[in-house]
Structure 1
Amino acid sequence: MDKEKRLSDENSDLYRSFFQENNAVILLVDPENFDIVDANTAACMYYGWPLEKITRRRIHHLNVLSTEDIEAETQRAEEENRNYLTLKHRLANGEIRDVEVYNGPMVLNSRRMLYYIVHDVTERKLAEDKLRRKEMQLRAAQKIGQFGSWEMDLNSGNVDASEEARRIYGFEDEELSLEIIKNTRLEEYLPAMYEALANLVELNLPYDLKFKIRRQNDGNIRVIHSVAEYYAERNVVIGMIQDITERKHTKSKLRESEAHLNEVRSIANIGSWEFDSNGLAKWSPEVARIHGVDPDDPTGINCSFSFYTPESRASLEKAIRNALEKGESYDLEVEFVTEKGEHKWVRTIGHPKIEDGKVTTVTGSSQDITERKQAEIKAVEEVGWRSILMEQSRDGIVIIDQDGKVFEANPRYAEMLGYSHEEMKSLHMWDWDTHYTREQLLEMLRLADSKGILHETRQLRKDGSLIDVEINANAAKFGERKLSFCVCRDITERKQAEEELLNAKLDAEDANQSKSEFLATMSHELRTPLNSIIGFSDVLHSEIFGSLNKKQAEYLSHISSSGKHLLRLINDILDLSKVEAGKMELVCEKFYVSDAIEEINITMIPLAIKKGIYLDAKIAPHLEKINADRSKFQQILSNLISNAIKFTPDKGHVTIEAQKSGNFVQIAIKDTGIGIADKDMEKLFQPFKQLNSYLTREHEGTGLGLALVKKFVEMHGGRIRVESKVGEGSIFTFLIPVDFKEQIPNPA
């Protein structure tokens, strides 16, 4: 035991001597909690902490990289098969250094430890980064300048070429040699290459060649300029090549460009001219054509001056005088009338040429800008007309920015709400809209930006009164600003008229004796007392015969709503009875499914926004027209979509999908609602059956909506099915023939 202890002590002393005297930064770490339990003198000096402070830290306290960055570096080290990590450590003075960390397990005094050996590589990293930047700059310079560099070892014949040099020759990553490069040159240029190379090496004569090559990768013929120097101590030739193919075409292209410029000048109605103090010396035929005079007429400029309007002529004469006397350039847009009576505008630019302090000539150009000027005048007129439209419109017009603030409003809209124009421009749309929240209104702006929106709402006037308003909102742009252009119509009177019309319709339906005896009896016996109940309750509620207390008003409201609910039930019963009795007829017409869906969606958007539900339509492209009863088709859609919205919790999704399926169109309404239990499936399409759920009880109904949907689908020769999972949602899918004459096969 004494011997073992002595050996252990000797090993411990040996370790301490190696550990403390080592110039490398060494840390010992507890593998359980990663506490630093020891650090050698080099570590304390490097990090700037005494031993008692550094051992109060954990190893990750030294590291400034995130956990994700460390994991990524560990992954790279494994992939590159290296036994160190490249990290960043923070010293006591806050300085951050690049380090390479080697670590591994060890046992000290029967205790398992981790050792960390840290090498500072900050200076090396800086040098490497600097070298990489220089290499990158060289590659960029070669790429931008389209020149490459190469080095040929005359001992081996091997050639090392830069990336751009390889691109010029059309090589990839293959090894290059003089023999390989020689094969790219056209044969007639080889003797000159050998002679120039020999003269460079043996006589130190300049190597400066232009030759043609057939590029390796695509076979294109390119013109190359190559220069090189010989380095005898290494027996290598280092050179530069540049693709000058385009340069060879410059002269011909320049000639083509000049011809093209003359053609463009003619197309653009631009001519050139030059004159001195004695008058017009010469002008191009295009200038003469613009002015409507003969190019060979010696009176030239004097004749053309007479065509200018007095104001334009005065401006032009003053500009020419200043050019000749003061050497001032000019750029004018002037108006004139040709000999044929045509009103024209011309832009004329003049630059004086000065020699020995005197103006010798003035050269310039004239361009016919009549069309542009007319377009500008038309644009000004259009702005004026639009302003008149805004000012004189009988509808209210308000333009809203993406933040819901009024960008502009016409007088009619300000009048509708009882504000002045200045007051309107300080308002946001939620200052007057009482029906929707701020978030819902901003969502409507987003929808208007994507596809437009039509809805009805109630708006609060400055005096506190309410008006019914129909809003048609669409996207608009003013420069880079996205705006919503809203046409607002006061429909208060229309709503009152609709209510009166509805009452008249109900009265007319009561009086309609054309139905079968049973339906007529039911209509008379049930609707008459209900209309009386609804009518008298509404009359009492309007307080025509005296004021009501709160309780009385509440009871009358219950009576009216219950009566109307019962009336809707009776109407559904009668519609269903018509279908079952075979007295309901289809009025078919051809229409686009996308149009019908869009119309229904517009009416559903406010209901969806109210609950924060995302309503989306996915319609297959090029979906053809169908021949069906449009009204009943939309009634089917309205019932299914409104049910989906009603029975989907807030912030859910409702999606309408439409696509062709053989000779039929298939419509699917998907929701993320509470779903339907299997035991309730058979009740869905039965009249007067309602599912027993809290959402069903929340939304009153007749229990006839889906029954009518099924009947209307079947009347078209179609079918409807349901897929649902409790807690996940439902999918109602119906198919009807593209043409009503087609009959759908029964599913097997």
Structure 2
Amino acid sequence: MARGGRITEALMREALLGAGTAVWEWDVRNDCLSSTDDSAALLGYAPGEIADTQIAWNALIHPDDLQANHEAYLHHARGGGADLRARVPRARCKDGSWRWLAERGRVIERDAHGEPLRAVGTLSDITQRREAQGAALELAARLGKLARHVPGLLYQYRSVANDPLRGNFPFISDSVIDLLGLPPAELMRDATAVFRLIHRDDLERVRLGVVEAARTLRPWRCEFRLFDRDAQPRWVNVLATPQREPEGTLLWHGYIQDVTDLRELQQARAEAAAAQAANRAKTEFLSRMSHELRTPLNAVLGFAQLLEIDEHEPLSEQQRRRVVLIREAGAHLLEMIGELLDLTRIESGQMAVEVAPLALEPLIADCVELVRPQADAGGVSLHGAAGPATVRVLADATRLRQVLLNLLGNAIKYNRRGGRVEVAVAASGSELRIDVSDTGVGIAAEHMASLFQPFQRGAQARGPIEGVGIGTAVTRALVELMGGTVTARSVPGAGSTFSVTLRRAD
């Protein structure tokens, strides 16, 4: 029987050592440890290489852990707690490396004064466990860092068995603070605060979707509104996959992305597409209408000219004046139709320009001569370009002519009898500036900001001068299509200067 007992004890020791655990007994008063060879084996020492004293073992404990280990023993020795459970220390192996040891024990005998006489316990090698814990902590730190840089919110949500809207978040990335203003620690205890932030118009839809996903265990995706930390509704896209746990709860693995900006962008694109469609429809309508209007209008103008030059049935002076009024009104209407159609083509991106090197002086001279009858009729003196005679610009000849005629026409139209209109050209580096100046009524400061907006005529809106405010808008758009700019400066009562800047061709 004794032999059987010794075999059992030996097997037990081998089993414990195989599991990385050694049993120790300590005679406290005499500082004598038994079974030290088993403990030494955990650190790679041979029998007898470590003395059978606590002092010898303390010499192997890592300096950073020694004080905490001693304080834990003193706490237990003085009656603090039934078991001696020291903070896990590190101990030096024979090869110089360090291993983590978990020491558990208790005082089993005391003297009459309560001082410890004998203690027993175990020493376990938990190095692999600590390394695994360290690796897990490192992985968690990496995941946390990754989650902080992901443009969204990663989470695990555990819901109770019978109510998917009640539960907690075992994991939720720190970005929940930025999105909802809620601390992760609070949500790890209770997720109620998140569901309170769901927009009431979306809550039932969310609830039904979650319940159905919980029933079928299929991935759930939904877009709904959550109130952010500033109590502003934000659209979020939520993806979650439920997983049934053994105890009946559901563990959801998911991702939340703030899609407010994306939805606004999509809405803006939809509105832009609708606006483009409306522009196309407007362009097509105006194109058809201009054709329908121009055809009879050209007929009216043609017949008016025929009446003026008919030698067989000459008109009386009164009739001639009336025909002239018809012709001038028709020409003005035809001009407005053309400007309106140009503006529509520009806004819809259908206006094409052909930019090429262009001699500037002859073009300006032609434009000046074309408007000279208008200037003479208004009593306005007109002076052509003063500047480099051979300079060339990069422009579309037809569109630049249209721009200059518009600016010259306005300078004459808004001038006064006895006034002056002047065209000047100035070169500056790779650019060339054309100034059209007048001595007219000028433009008030409050109207300068809207000067190049369609249908804006400022103080002239109710004046006697005809116009609908399209010409300046068309002028700016044409100049910009040619790669240039147009600006204006004015002194009310003294006149205005419009400047067109284009690229030089030489």
Same fold at TM > 0.5 = no
Q: Which of the pair has the greater relative contact order for Cα pairs under 8 Å at 6+ separation?
A: 2
Q: TM-score w.r.t. structure 1 length?
A: 0.27
